[in-house]
Structure 1
């Protein structure tokens, strides 16, 4: 009997011990979840524990970059390079900050630094192409895009970048081929559908353009350019209320876009004129003369 009581006591102690371990781990998990509520706090916490790791500095820099805190992000990327001068991603990230500040030539220099370290890496080649596109040096951009595609022929982002550069050069058929290939490989790529919509719009194929812009919006509902372009098409078709709706939806996402603001103002002006003309000609329908009791 005493032995049984002793065994029960031991089991009770074991259960208490296990419960305390579970509680400790649950509390630790809660603390981690509280600290790691976003990438910025996660990597800031990691940095406090291991400031000598270059990847931690780079990851914190990325979190700061995504929060548009470019000055502090730059400090972290530079510290990454001090700890590891061959950290090619840090050079790429510094280049991205220069791009954000419209320092395109400085960005290209940083991308070239990354390419020297990793000559077969896609990102440096792609980023160099993008920078030359921004600079309007399309032939050089196309050279780099094609060079990157030699390494990864079925990369949808590269196909879209190359297609965009070809389109800017007026090589529409070649651009179309790249955009269509991109959506074959990645049917959920909103930008490729958007670009197909732009080309259809330029060819005055309104229904086709509406189809492609709508496809882009099904994938990415907060696509302000697609919304704005749909507004333009409906405006040209005389469907002013629909045009205004799309312009307003676009401005909810991108409130300071000057083209959309101008088009919205014009559409409202035309709608007012149209309503005034209809009122003068007696085209408005009267409400029912039978009202419910108050």
Structure 2
């Protein structure tokens, strides 16, 4: 093969020019909709809760500059502005109905697949000789089809919060397309327009998810491997644009990390069970686990949370040394292929380079399948390209790839079925990772939500036995006991959770609630105020403070605290119920009734709110309604 550019050896005529040009896109669209059609009502899972359900900054009810700014920058992932904003816009339309969130995720995945189809066509046309191009258009099409239907992509599509991954990948592809257009266009004005498009797309990719900072390196690589050299542009001039983009990306990364980037990076290891060196060693094995998942995405291998063995040294476990040697050989293969087939070299480099940010030194989770979303794209392109180089008729090869796409689609549809039920989802993880602390905690929470209290308690107990140094299981067991009326038993669990975890506002907020229910307003006030000092957005602490004021007879102060919580966006049964009690004290019966009706809208079985509503109806002279509500409240209390 030519050392500069690869030759596409398949023979025959191009396929899609003789057909409707939109047919490939229609097939990709229909296939993706089909395999993701069973996800539209899937519930929120795991990190969806802190980033969406419990994130008041994205819960906007009216569009304003202030609400948009807060949603973009004050969310837990505060540097992922565009992704946060998209979640906020979803919420403004559908609130917490997951249908709209899933619909947007599927649309983003389809757009990314279209962009991959187009980019693969560009790369192939630039990297291959125009002669004997043959079934060249088959290769981009099957690349996009197999990538879109691969079961591993469910972790970036069905998992709502990983919109951050798919959105970043989409703009990353746009940037690549714009760069190739700029490099291959003859018009100076259009070149600059495409370069501008590349810059904007690259920025949007980075503010969707930070791993897009690898884009400048990939631009240099595609220039070296796939694009023709430019006359009179060698050395720095050839790569001036990617270098400028790289400098901008570096400055943005430093801005995100603050004045001391190294400290910002390594401080994250304080909450990890591994050191930077252990993570680096472990990631060498994860690299090959990723390859295996891509090659054989069997249901038993697909998992949101893997219980992955940490490498403590080169030979602990022994596979670590072999994995490191394998990566060295992988890099060596890229170097060798650069001399003989630069297209394949670029595809392999794309894979390893786009894994680097999340798979090296940063204190992130060890393994997540959604990290394969972007890296897998050109690895699949390489696989499809190599299959078409086999001495087989193109129609036969196409038939094989169609069969593979059908199998992938079935596996994806089956994998998506696991996401439809939160309890079933975590049970699947517990089956695959039975010793994973987090899996038992989250299964316990999911079981608690459906009132399977004994099973919930069992899984919290298993989690505590697996890792007694962590606080989540103690905390959630305390929440369960409090809900069951075992508030006295909940208190030591809350206290233990705080000693394990340290200063976490949510824990102090719940501790204050427990003290309040036990009648200890002195400690309740201390815990609630501590929660607000740690995080002023811990609005439910206002309820504890308000109820304590209420018990002391300070109803004006109580109403003020309840109003503060409400004005900050808190929607809560306890808020409306206790606010109504104070309003009754002032004789504001109609307003009290309205708040109690709101409380019962949120939780129809809340017998305290229903009983108080009966009292208010009595005050309003509505005796029949009063008797009805009080009677039902007594019945609901017995049912609990």
- TM-score of the two chains, using structure 2 as the length reference: 0.35
Give the Å deviation of 1:123: 2.5
The match for 2:433 among 37, 47, 50 is 50
Instruction: Judge conservation of contact 2:524–2:544 (CA < 8 Å) in 1.
Output: no
The match for 2:620 among 233, 237, 241 is 237
The match for 1:173 among 547, 556, 563 is 556
1:149 corresponds to which residue? 532
- Comparing 196-205 and 29-38, the one that deviates more: 29-38
Partners of 1:94 and 1:115 lie apart in 2 by 13
2:186 maps to 1:186: no
Instruction: Judge conservation of contact 2:447–2:456 (CA < 8 Å) in 1.
Output: yes
1:162 corresponds to which residue? 545
For 1:125-170, what per-residue CA distance to the aligned partner results, in whole angstroms no more than 9, with x for missing partners?
A: 1222122112111111111111211112232211112212221222
Aligned runs of 1:84-233 on 2, under 5 Å? Answer: 84-186=467-569, 188-189=571-572, 191-214=574-597, 216=599, 220=602, 222=604, 224=606, 225-226=608-609, 228-233=611-616
2:445 maps to 1:66: no
Partners of 2:605 and 2:451 lie apart in 1 by 20
Instruction: Judge conservation of contact 1:231–1:247 (CA < 8 Å) in 2.
Output: yes
Q: Give the root-mean-square deviation of aligned CA atoms.
A: 3.2
Instruction: Judge conservation of contact 1:115–1:121 (CA < 8 Å) in 2.
Output: yes
Partners of 2:453 and 2:613 lie apart in 1 by 34
Q: Give the number of the structure whose residues are more often helix, by fraction.
A: 1
- Comparing 138-147 and 192-201, the one that deviates more: 192-201
2:386 corresponds to which residue? none
1:19 corresponds to which residue? 402
Partners of 2:403 and 2:552 lie apart in 1 by 69
Give the Å deviation of 1:104: 3.3
For 1:226-253, what per-residue CA distance to the aligned partner results, in whole angstroms no more than 9, with x for missing partners?
A: 5554444334333456556x739x94xx
3-state secondary structure, aligned to 1:247: helix
Partners of 1:77 and 1:162 lie apart in 2 by 30
The match for 2:635 among 242, 253, 256 is 256
Partners of 1:161 and 1:10 lie apart in 2 by 74
Sort the Cα spacing of 1:98 and 1:145 in 2 relative to 1 into closer, same or farther, 3 A. Answer: same
- Comparing 98-107 and 25-34, the one that deviates more: 98-107
Sort the Cα spacing of 1:109 and 1:242 in 2 relative to 1 into closer, same or farther, 3 A. Answer: closer
Partners of 2:421 and 2:480 lie apart in 1 by 21
Sort the Cα spacing of 1:153 and 1:74 in 2 relative to 1 into closer, same or farther, 3 A. Answer: same
- TM-score of the two chains, using structure 1 as the length reference: 0.72
3-state secondary structure, aligned to 2:635: coil
Sort the Cα spacing of 1:215 and 1:68 in 2 relative to 1 into closer, same or farther, 3 A. Answer: closer
Instruction: Judge conservation of contact 1:156–1:182 (CA < 8 Å) in 2.
Output: yes
For 1:189-229, what per-residue CA distance to the aligned partner results, in whole angstroms no more than 9, with x for missing partners?
A: 45434432221122222233234345556x63737555554
Question: Which consecutive residues of structure 1, in runs of 5 or more, have no partner in the other structure?
Answer: 260-294
Which of the pair has the greater relative contact order for Cα pairs under 8 Å at 6+ separation?
Answer: 2
Sort the Cα spacing of 1:258 and 1:35 in 2 relative to 1 into closer, same or farther, 3 A. Answer: closer
